[in-house]
Chain A
Amino acid sequence: MAAVTRISALCNRGVKPLFLSKSLLARTLVSSKKTRDPPVLLSAQIHTSPAHYAAGSKAASLHWTGERALSVALLGMIPVAYMYPGPAMDYSLAAALTLHSHWGLGQVLTDYVHGDTAIKASNAGLFALSAVTFAGLCYFNYHDVGICKAVAMLWSL
């Protein structure tokens, strides 16, 4: 399609039809502008994206959707945690917060870290951090007061 528009762009560099009478000129204007030029044979290569791209992995697209779905879920959890504090919300928040952070920091790394080894190393570090964070939050939920109660206690200072 891009190739077709390129032809018409070439054709629009109009050559004034000096030999046409006025009535015929009007008729030419009614028909397409492309008719005014002689056809130019393209000798340059045109690059197009593959017409029928082999169905690639949908992983990136699904990841994007997952990120948005998790964000919406986390937004919903905030008022629910306020209204119904308890172990169910504690563990849900721990999971949602950790995963949202993990994916968010992953995007930051993708933006700023370049080079194969650097990317691999930073992603491995991020994975370790997220794993430890989730473990710590679950430990806190189990052995201590839990996230919801902790926020309430902190705010009562």
Chain B
Amino acid sequence: MEVYIQVAVLWNRSLVQRSAAVSSGSRCCLVYRHAVAMGTNAKEEMQKFTDKNSRLARPLSPHITIYSWSVPMMMSITHRGTGVGLSAGVAVFAVSALVLPGDFASYLSLIQSLSLGPALICTAKFGLAFPVAFHSFNGIRHLMWDLGKGFRMPEVYRSGYAVIALSVLSAIALAAL
């Protein structure tokens, strides 16, 4: 019995040494003999996957139709939506400036002549101000994330609600000007 114990201790000690050598990162053939560098990059891997999917005509798994919506998800797509909407608005404005006859003041007096009423005009101002406000405040939230701050779930929700509140309040304030 004693012999077995002594052999076991010696054997364990050699394992400790071997494991220590491995974990210290030395080129132990036990570990590195079969390590191979990848031959493709991420983009190529993705392209292979996309091609295989279209070749096999695989249906897309349901995602937004089944996944339960959350405030962060809705704010994210709203950020994108307001961004695309504002870009479209600026583009339409710029193309109109190039294409339409008359100057800006003439179009404003045209709108004035419509006598739309203060309620409608205020609503329209809110409709313009809210996307700008939301995209700006949520943009600040995104920049904080880019600095590495505010990723914990409670923080995500808190900053999200703060952005919504600030956007609504500032849009109302701007519309009232």
Contact = CB atoms under 8 A, between A and B. Distances in A.
State the majority secondary structure of interface residues on B. helix
Interface of B: 4-5, 8-9, 12, 15-16, 18-20, 22-23, 25, 30-38, 50, 80, 83-84, 86-87, 90-91, 93-98, 103-105, 108, 111-112, 121, 125, 136, 139-140, 142-143, 146, 177
A139 B136 contact: no
A143 B143 CA distance: 36
A137 B94 CA distance: 5
Contacts of A132: 91, 94-95, 98
A contact residues, range: 35 or more
Contacts of A154: 108
18 contacts: A20-B8, A21-B5, A34-B15, A34-B19, A43-B34, A45-B36, A49-B38, A72-B143, A98-B90, A101-B91, A105-B84, A136-B95, A139-B97, A140-B94, A140-B97, A140-B104, A155-B125, A157-B108
The DSSP consensus for interface residues of chain A is helix
Interface of A: 1, 3-4, 7-8, 11, 17, 19-21, 24, 27-28, 31-32, 34-36, 39, 41-51, 68, 71-72, 75, 78, 97-98, 101, 104-105, 108, 114, 129, 132-137, 139-140, 143-145, 150, 153-155, 157
A155 B177 contact: yes
A157 B8 contact: no
A66 to B, nearest CB: 13
Contacts of A133: 90-91, 94-95
A71 B140 CA distance: 9
